[in-house]
Amino acid sequence: MKTVLIVLLILLCAVLIGRQVTLERGLYSAARRMREQMADETTTRLALPCPSAGAEELLVCLNQLLELRQEERASYRRKEQALRQQIANVSHDLRTPLTSILGYLQLLEGDGLAPEKRAEYLAVIEARARTLQVFIATFYDLSRIEGGELPLEREKVDLGRALSDQLAAAYEQIEESGLAVEVDIAPDLPPVWSDSGAVTRIFSNLLTNALRHGKDTLSVRLYQDGNTIVSAFSNRAEDLTAEDAAHVFERFYTADKMRTGQSTGLGLAIVKALAERMGHTAAARWEDGVFTVEVRWSV
């Protein structure tokens, strides 16, 4: 009987030792594969040849860490690519007016330049310099807004009055644009808690963007939808696409692929940044040749 028990104990020990060795080899193998995956960024999940509740739980955590690492790497690459594109766009948007300014300054150095030509060149230089000044100021403002450095004072703002005032202030621009403007502002809208200056900036940017890029007609609507007030600016934009609408709020994004200087792509980025800082939302869509930007103001 003792002999049988001894044999059974020996067999049990052998099984346990074998299982332990297999588990240890599996862990070493998993560790090796983990190092390889961290090096070459593969996403194969780790597994053990010999199941063990504790070890499997450990591998679940390790797999989650690996997936998180892969997501972080992918996010980092996307941000790095976006940053490079932004730097390229900033460089181009700065270089365009600077190149023009330098070119006209060289023309001014020419001998025998007629007074009227000199005045014309100086006017061009001034216009390009002001464009550069506006770009730098706008970029600085956007950086302050996104960084939370721009102070905003909350108060009850009458959006109907703010929008009407902005439309009146832009009367000459509207006339020069040649667009047929349709305005529909619902009466007796409740006020919203916002910064009045930021509201004016949002409406100004939306109106400027529509007048600069819109065609045929411009529709401006302000109405209540449940617990939000919606300000919607819609215009014909046959040259845009649904993909453009998905990116218009990104820094320096412009549908002008050649970046001819007609737009820096910062105006709508400021709209979204200001709206979100005040607890509201901004969205854009393109349907059947009509581009619409909406800001939903929480009441």
Question: Taking the model in full, what pTM does it have?
Answer: 0.64
Residues 39 and 133 placed together within one structural domain of the fold: no
| In a shared domain, residues 189 and 291 | yes
Non-local CB neighbours of 174 within 8 Å, separated by 6+ positions:
167, 181, 211, 218
DSSP state of 261: S
Are 142 and 247 contained in the same domain? no
CATH number of the CATH domain containing 210: 3.30.565.10
pLDDT for the residue 16: 57
Q: What is the mean pLDDT of residues 140-146?
A: 80
User: Taking the CB of residue 50, how many other CB atoms lie within 10 A of it?
Assistant: 15
| pLDDT at site 21 | 57
Give me the pLDDT at residue 172, please: 87
- How far lies 267's CA from each of 58, 97, 247, 263, in Å? 50, 18, 13, 9
The DSSP secondary-structure symbol of 262 reads: S
Claim to verify: residue 159 and residue 294 sit in the same structural domain: yes
Task: Please check whether residue 198 lies inside any domain of the structure.
Answer: yes
- Which residue, 75, 107, 125, sits at the end of a domain? 75
**Higher-scoring residue by pLDDT: 244, 45:** 244
pLDDT at 296 over 60: yes
Place 249 in a pLDDT band, splitting at 50, 70 and 90: confident
CB 193 within 8 A of CB 160: no
Show the domain range for 142: 88-146
Range in 26-35, 122-131, 232-241 the model is least confident about: 26-35
Which of 8-22, 66-80, 126-140, 274-288 has the weakest average pLDDT?
8-22
Most confident of 70-74, 111-115, 223-227: 223-227
The reply to whether 82 falls in a domain is: no
Q: Which of the two residues, 9 and 246, has the higher pLDDT score?
A: 246
With b for 16 or more beta-carbon neighbours within 10 A and e for fewer, the 182-219 pattern comes to: eeebeeebeebebbbebbbbbbbbbbebbbebbeeebb
Mean pLDDT, the chain, rounded, equals 79
Which of the two residues, 242 and 251, has the higher pLDDT score? 242
pLDDT at 163 over 90: yes
Instruction: Report the pLDDT averaged over residues 210-230.
Output: 91
The DSSP bridge pattern shows strands 228-236 and 290-298 to be antiparallel
What single letter denotes the amino acid at residue 276? E
Of 29, 47, 75, which residue constitutes the final position of a domain?
A: 75
Report the C-alpha gap between 27 and 46 in whole angstroms: 10
Q: Are 229 and 237 in contact (CB under 8 A)?
A: no
Number of domains in the chain: 3
- Give the pLDDT mean for 23-49: 59
In 122-157, which positions are buried (b, 16+ CB within 10 angstroms) versus exposed (e)?
eeebeebeebbeebeebbebbeebbeeebeeeeeeb
Say if 47 falls within a structural domain.
yes
Most confident of 23-37, 59-73, 95-109, 174-188: 174-188
Residue 83 domain flag? no
Query: Do residue 65 and residue 98 come from a single domain?
Result: no
Instruction: From 45, 75, 105, give the residue that closes a domain.
Output: 75
Cβ-based neighbours of 85, under 8 Å, separated by 6 or more: 252
Looking up residue 137, the CATH number of its domain turns out to be 1.10.287.130
